[in-house]
């Protein structure tokens, strides 16, 4: 979920790197292009994720380092994704209550009511 101005937060960027590494090991260039970052941003976030113990730097035998996600990184990523999912659900009632949302047929109105009820039950 991106902020309204289109810029990604540090947490979003780090979670995107973790998602990429969840798919398998990757080098710095793969991370840079996969997450659409500059070289310096990539370096900064990889270093921070390693400092936090979320990723490992491997294959440092004279070749370019390769990064892999650690179990702690998988755990944190799962928590971030859970919070993001919860926030998406919280946005739905605002969208559904929007005055711009017009539902004409009675059948659609009943369906919309059932969706709203299901969302409210899920919140409690």
Could you report the per-residue pLDDT of 15-44, keeping only the tens digit for each? 999 999 999 999 999 999 999 999 999 999
Tell me, yes or no, whether 1 lies in a domain. Answer: no
pLDDT recorded at residue 120: 65
Q: Cα(64)–Cα(26) distance, rounded to whole angstroms?
A: 10
Tokens at 6, concatenated: 């289109």
Tell me, yes or no, whether 5 lies in a domain. Answer: no
Tokens at 106, concatenated: 């009675």
| pTM, to two decimals | 0.66
Tell me, yes or no, whether 4 lies in a domain. Answer: no
Per-residue pLDDT tens over the stretch 65-124: 899 999 999 999 999 888 878 776 545 555 555 555 454 555 555 666 666 666 666 655
Tokens at 74, concatenated: 């998988």
Q: Looking at the predicted structure, is the pLDDT value of residue 4 above 70?
A: no
Tell me, yes or no, whether 2 lies in a domain. Answer: no
Tokens at 76, concatenated: 């944190």
pLDDT, greater one: 84 or 5:
84
- What is the count of structural domains for the chain? 1
Q: Which residues of 106-118 are buried (b: 16+ CB within 10 A; e: fewer)?
A: eeeeeeeeeeeee
What are the CA-CA distances from residue 101 to residues 50, 97, 105 (Å)? 46, 7, 13
Provide the residue range defining the domain that includes 34: 10-123
The domain that holds 66 is classified in CATH as: 1.10.10.10
Q: Cα(33)–Cα(35) distance, rounded to whole angstroms?
A: 6
Give me the mean pLDDT over the 42-62 stretch. 90
Tell me, yes or no, whether 110 lies in a domain. Answer: yes
Tokens at 97, concatenated: 């209550």
Q: Tokens 């990723």 sit at which residue?
A: 55
Q: Looking at the predicted structure, is the pLDDT value of residue 14 above 60?
A: yes
pLDDT recorded at residue 106: 57
């Amino acid at each position: 979920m991106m902020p309204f101005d289109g810029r990604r937060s540090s947490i979003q960027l780090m979670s995107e790197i973790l998602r990429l590494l969840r798919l398998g090991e990757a080098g710095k260039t793969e991370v840079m292009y996969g997450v659409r970052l500059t070289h310096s941003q990539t370096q900064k976030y990889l270093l921070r994720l390693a400092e936090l113990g979320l990723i490992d730097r491997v294959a440092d035998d004279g070749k370019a380092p390769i990064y892999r996600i650690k179990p702690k990184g998988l755990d944190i990523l799962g928590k971030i994704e859970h919070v993001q999912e919860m926030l998406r659900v919280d946005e739905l009632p605002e969208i559904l209550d929007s005055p711009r949302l017009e539902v004409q047929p009675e059948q659609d109105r009943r369906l919309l009511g059932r969706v709203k009820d299901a969302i409210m039950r899920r919140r409690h």
